Each structure stands twice: as C-alpha cells, then as structure tokens.
Amino acid sequence: MAATAYEAQKGMLPGDQMLRRRYLVGRWLRYLALAIVVVLALVLLIPIIWMLLGSFKIQRVALAYPPELIPSNPVLDNWERLLIGRPSMRWLFNSLVVAGGIAIFGVITSTFAGYAFGKKDFPGRTIFFWMILMTMMLPRQIYIIPLFVLMKSLGWFNSYQGMIAPYIVYPFGVFLMRQYMQSIPDELLEAAKMDGASELQLFRHMIVPLSRPAIGAIAIFAFMAGWNDYLWQLVLATDELWLTLPVGVAKLTASGVGSIDIGVSMAGATFAVVPMLLIFLLFQNYFIKGITVGALKG
C-alpha cells in the first residue's frame, strides 16, 4: 500500500499504478506457484528414485522403519537373484521382439493406410477411416475375451505372433499419418506423377522420405505401447519363459502380498524401466513431435 501511495504522490496515472502493483503481487504468486510445480515434479520423480534405492536393499533394510533413505549397506544380491536366478534376460528379449515387431508393423500399416486416407479419394474412405478412428477411442479390453478365444483356437498362446497380431494396426499411427499426409502439398505429388512415376515409385521415393518425422514418432509410440502393454501379454503368456519384461517383473511382486521380496521386486522394476528410459532420452524430440502432430492439425 505504501508503494501505491508513493506512486500516487508522484502523479502516476491510475492505470500505471494498477499495473505496477499487480506486477509485484504477480511476481510473488508466480514464485509460489513455481515452487509448487517443483514439488510436484519431485513427487513424480521420488518413486523412481525410491525404486532404484530399494533395489540395493536387503530385505531387513527394506522393511526397516523408519526407512533408511540411503541404504547404509547397499548390496547387489537382488540384482544377482533377478539377473541370474530368474529368466529376466529372456523376458527382456521377449519384450524387445514384441515391442519391436509391433513398432515395425505399426509403421508399415500406418504409412500405407495413412497415405491412402490422406491423399486419395475412393469409395469407403470415410467409413474405413472412422472405423479405425473409433477403435482408437475404444479400450482394447472390450474385445479381449473373444480375442482370447480366437488365440486359443489358433494355438497362439506363448507365442510372439499372438502377442503382436492384435497390434499390427496401430490406430493412433494411422490417424497421425493421415494428418501428416494432409500437410504434404498435392502439387508435389502431381509433379512426380507428370514425370511418369508409378504409384509404388511415388510412395517409395516421395511419400516415405517426406514423412520420416511421422514415421519416427509412430515407431517410438508403437514401441512404447508394445513395451508397456500389460493385460494382453499377461493373458497370452502362461509359461514363465514367454513372459514379457513388465509381466515377468510384476510376477515378482504378485507372489503373495504378505511376503514380497522387496529388493528383487524393486530391482525388477528398475530393470523394466531402463530400456524404455534410454529410448526416451535418445529420441526425446520424436516423442514431443509425435504427441503434438496428432493433436494440432498440421
């Protein structure tokens, strides 16, 4: 208030006073709000850090209360039991095959279909596109039971093809690619056609190179979707050797609520995060591009 009075004395315009005062109040509010955001970010990071620390604790330390924030006597036992005592390398391999397969198929089907939906006119275009779009909006769990029955009759339990097949089409990828295709000018394609390029040449030499950013984004998102998928792989893998990494490490916890081996389960959780985290750090820009391309009409 004192400042306001002082400024009023100096004969400033009322509007200016208002602005100045608001700026001061605004700045403190802003610091306070930023502090809240920092706390929020820490809350999100703490579980990840706690997991990593937990993976080095023996059971006695893990169950200590008050908890040892930094394990006083860090051990590698848990990691040894996870990596040697369990088929965790096989789980890692399974996850890589499944997520990689889903990414490859997702890219192929999305690019082909996205091109047709975005650049071509044909009977059924709208209805086919909306069908795919609808399934993007529908939880997969809705048809998980018939899919389970189908896999049973195909004998595809404990198999890579069973885990990948329902994800061959990645609806979000088709959607994203169509949006992206629409941003490629028609004139470019017309010109290539004039020069006598066949449909396949056009696709191979124009469409694919031009849509590389979208392809990158789809590959990463489909990979992440495959990597983090849980329910379907839980349903499909009954044999310990066919578990994917998230399902495998989850079984470390689910083996009886009272007597969880915390150290191993935290080591497993950490082990399941690392590959995805590396991919995220390496391709951060693709993540951001992928998220935004689909949402903002490009």
Partner 1 sequence: MLQRFAASVWKGRWAYFFIAPAMIPFAIFTVYPLAQGLLLSFYKAGVNRDKWTYIGIKNYTNLLTRDPVFPTAIKNTFLFVLGVVPAAMVICLFVAVLIYPLSQRKQTFFRAAFYMPVVSAGVVLAMVWVYIYSQEYGLLNYLFESLGLLDLLNDGEKIGWLAQTNTALLSLAIVVLSWSLGQPLILFLAGLGAIPEPLYDAAKIDGANSWQSFWKITLPLLRPTMLFVLVVLTIAVFQVFVVVQLMTLGGPANATQTIVYRIWVTGIVGSKFGYGSAMAVVLLSIVSVVAIVQFKLLDRQLT
Nearer to partner 1, 54 or 71 (CB): 54
Which of 169, 192, 197, 210 is the binder for partner 1 (CB under 8 A)?
Answer: 169
Q: How far is the CB of 37 from partner 1 (least distance, A)?
A: 5
Q: How far is the CB of 84 from partner 1 (least distance, A)?
A: 20
288 binds partner 1 (CB under 8 A): yes
Q: How far is the CB of 235 from partner 1 (least distance, A)?
A: 6
Amino acid at residue number 33: A
Nearer to partner 1, 28 or 122 (CB): 122
For the beta carbon of residue 78, count every other beta carbon within 10 angstroms: 26
283 binds partner 1 (CB under 8 A): no
Q: How far is the CB of 229 from partner 1 (least distance, A)?
A: 9
Tell me 66's DSSP state.
Answer: S
- Structure tokens belonging to residue 20: 């100045």
Q: How far is the CB of 150 from partner 1 (least distance, A)?
A: 6
168 binds partner 1 (CB under 8 A): yes
Nearer to partner 1, 117 or 242 (CB): 117
* Contacting partner 1 within 190-209 (CB under 8 A): 199, 203
Angle between helices 171-182 and 212-228 (to 10 degrees): 170
Tell me 63's DSSP state.
Answer: T
Q: Please tell me the distance from the alpha carbon of residue 214 to that of residue 111, in angstroms, as a whole number.
A: 9
Q: How far is the CB of 41 from partner 1 (least distance, A)?
A: 4
* Contacting partner 1 within 15-54 (CB under 8 A): 15, 18-19, 22, 26, 30, 33-34, 37, 40-48, 50-51, 54
Q: Please tell me the distance from the alpha carbon of residue 106 to that of residue 223, in angstroms, as a whole number.
A: 9
For the beta carbon of residue 203, count every other beta carbon within 10 angstroms: 17
SS3 content of the chain, % helix, strand, coil (to 5): 80, 0, 20
If binding means CB under 8 A, how many residues of this protein chain bind partner 1? 99
* Contacting partner 1 within 226-265 (CB under 8 A): 227-228, 230-231, 235, 246-247, 249-250, 252-254, 260, 262, 265
In a 13 Å sphere around the CA of 66, the CA atoms on its Cβ side amount to: 2
Residues 6+ apart with CB under 8 A from 43: none
4 binds partner 1 (CB under 8 A): no
* Contacting partner 1 within 64-83 (CB under 8 A): 64-67
**How distant, in Å, are the alpha carbons of 51, 53, 260, 280 from that of 88?**
18, 20, 18, 22
Q: Please tell me the distance from the alpha carbon of residue 227 to that of residue 92, in angstroms, as a whole number.
A: 10
* Contacting partner 1 within 107-166 (CB under 8 A): 108-110, 112-113, 115-117, 120-123, 125, 128, 131-132, 134-135, 137-150, 165-166
